[in-house]
């Protein structure tokens, strides 16, 4: 009977299972008040009042006691957010949506690294856009895709800023990466790693002083083998990634006194066929633990906007989101800019109602002739998307009600 229902009504059955999981995993189920409270509890006991309020707001969106889903837009890496470009930048990607629809996406995102190692001055420039968005009522998320400390010691950022390939496993000699070196004060990489953390901590402190709560998304897609911090560096031992996360959490919140951060665990989607299992692990493979994570935000691209690991995300008992979400990479729709953006609202509201927010990525050049169109403003029907009742735009964000 179950197999018949699965074949005839797959989406309806998934929604039913999700509802059951929400009742048990997130509201506590079985009379467990503590399990229900865990979704609103921050991993940093000393988190700011506003950070705790944002956590409660996201929890309410996941639980369904607050309707809708926050629309998010990544605006590039570092100072690219201040650039005037059709591929990156707040002006083009977020103000552009506002100019066409009258509404601005509720969340803005950027990466503090990835394409380059940015100087404190460059990160401060990027921060000004984030601060402005926050003060106008929006939410802020920052990814951190650090360049390898084995490739760049950051002693001369201006002269050697690196490039995006320095985040990649394939750029290294086999066996060169040992995450234990980042945690051992006797190893040279430990000093480099602390130098990197100090640099981003300075930028995050500027945001804290401005009152900005940051959904901090460091070292994402760790269950894949393409980033140096991912499973390729320790394919049989996820405890090493967990240890690096634990040390980073302790250093930024304790030593650096950053209490404006909500920590986002963001795995790539799990393997969908046997061959992928060789280089992609399940989404829970390197989960640092409930006491070190505030939000679970998956990564998935595909024209159908499927979230294959939805039930697994719910099982963590945290607010659920999509840290990166969009049409098929280098697919016909994304290359042509013809993806119907109203499908974000329709698919999430109908089939994945626990998702509190999603982030669409920025555009980028594939080669001299082709552009990957992931930004909302570059796709179809963005005005209709922003005006749909279930789409939470900047003017509709209600986290302050949870102070």
324 is catalytic: yes
Which of the residues 80, 113, 154, 324 is marked catalytic? 324
Residue 86's Cβ-count burial label (10 Å; 0-12, 13-18, 19+) is: middle
Rounded to 10 degrees, the C-alpha dihedral 212/104/300/25 comes to 60
Report how far apart, in Å, the C-alpha atoms of 327 and of each of 50, 111, 297, 323 are: 33, 20, 17, 14
Pairing between β-strand 391-392 and β-strand 214-218 as defined by DSSP bridges: unpaired
**In contact, 327 and 333? CB cutoff 8 Å:** yes
Spatial CB neighbours of 76, under 8 Å, sequence gap ≥ 6: 83, 87, 88, 89, 110, 111, 362
Shortest CA distance to 71 belongs to which of 264, 343, 314?
A: 343
Query: How far is CA 275 from its chain centroid?
Result: 26
For residues 225 and 279, give the distance between their C-alpha atoms in angstroms, rounded to a whole number: 5
163 is catalytic: no
Question: If DSSP codes are grouped into helix, strand and coil, which group holds residue 11?
Answer: helix
Tally the residues of the chain: 403
Which of the residues 66, 80, 154, 221 is marked catalytic? 221
Question: If DSSP codes are grouped into helix, strand and coil, which group holds residue 250?
Answer: helix
- Helix or strand (DSSP H, E) at 70: strand 69-77
- Helix or strand (DSSP H, E) at 56: helix 49-63
For residues 392 and 356, give the distance between their C-alpha atoms in angstroms, rounded to a whole number: 10
For residues 356 and 354, give the distance between their C-alpha atoms in angstroms, rounded to a whole number: 6
Q: Which residues are catalytic?
A: 221, 324
């Amino acid at each position: 009977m179950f197999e018949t229902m699965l074949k005839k009504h797959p989406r309806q059955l998934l929604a039913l299972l999700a509802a059951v999981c929400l009742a048990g995993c997130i509201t506590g189920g079985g009379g467990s008040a503590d399990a229900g409270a865990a979704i609103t509890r921050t991993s940093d006991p000393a988190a700011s009042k506003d950070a705790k309020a944002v956590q409660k707001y996201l929890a309410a969106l996941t639980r369904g006691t607050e309707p809708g889903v926050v629309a998010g837009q990544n605006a590039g890496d570092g100072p690219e957010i201040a650039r005037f470009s059709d591929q990156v930048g707040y002006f083009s990607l977020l103000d552009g949506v506002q100019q066409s629809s009258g509404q601005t996406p509720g969340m803005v995102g950027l990466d503090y690294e990835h394409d380059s190692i940015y100087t404190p001055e460059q990160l401060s420039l990027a921060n000004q856009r984030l601060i402005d968005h926050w003060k106008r009522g929006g939410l802020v998320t920052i990814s951190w895709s650090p360049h390898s400390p084995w490739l760049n010691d950051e002693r001369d950022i201006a002269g050697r800023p690196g490039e995006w390939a320095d985040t990649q496993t394939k750029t290294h000699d086999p066996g060169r990466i040992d995450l234990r070196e980042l945690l051992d004060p006797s190893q040279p990489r430990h000093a480099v790693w602390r130098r990197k953390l100090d640099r981003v901590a300075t930028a995050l402190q500027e945001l804290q002083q401005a009152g900005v709560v940051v959904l901090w998304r460091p070292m994402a897609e760790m269950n894949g083998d393409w980033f140096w911090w991912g499973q390729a560096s320790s394919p049989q031992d996820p405890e090493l990634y967990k240890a690096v996360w634990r040390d980073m959490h302790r250093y930024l919140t304790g030593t650096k006194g950053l209490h404006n951060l909500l920590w986002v665990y963001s795995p790539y989607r799990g393997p969908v066929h046997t061959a992928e299992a060789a280089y992609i692990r399940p989404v829970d493979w390197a989960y640092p633990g409930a006491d070190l994570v505030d939000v679970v935000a998956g990564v998935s691209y595909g024209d159908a906007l499927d979230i294959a690991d939805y039930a697994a995300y719910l099982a963590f008992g945290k607010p659920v989101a999509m840290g990166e979400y969009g049409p098929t990479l280098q697919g016909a729709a994304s290359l042509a800019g013809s993806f119907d953006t109203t499908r974000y609202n329709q698919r999430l509201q109908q089939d994945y109602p626990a998702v509190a927010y999603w982030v669409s990525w920025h555009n980028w050049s594939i080669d001299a002739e082709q552009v990957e169109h992931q930004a909302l403003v570059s796709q179809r029907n963005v005005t209709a998307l922003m005006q749909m009742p279930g789409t939470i735009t900047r003017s509709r964000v209600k986290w302050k009600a949870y102070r």
